[in-house]
Amino acid sequence: MTTVVAAPEPVFLDTNVLIYAAAPMFPLHGEAVQRLTELEAAGVPLWMSR
C-alpha cells in the first residue's frame, strides 16, 4: 500500500509579516516569528506580491 501525501497549499504572505518578524520592537514580533517558523517547518510555500 502506498500513501500519497499532498503538498501543502501555498500561503500568501503580506510583507508586513516580514517587517514584524524582523523588528523586535513591534508588538506582533513574537507572533510573526512563530507563524513563519511553523510555516517553514511544515514546508509550506510562501507567496508574496512584489
The pLDDT, as a whole number, for residue 34 is 97
Mean pLDDT per 10-residue interval, the chain, length 50 residues: 78 94 96 96 91
The pLDDT assigned to 15 comes to 93
pLDDT, position 1: 66
Helix axes 15-22, 29-41, angle to 10 degrees: 110
pLDDT at 50: 79
User: CA torsion 13→22→43→35, rounded to 10°?
Assistant: -80
**Residue ranges covered by each domain of the chain:** 11-47
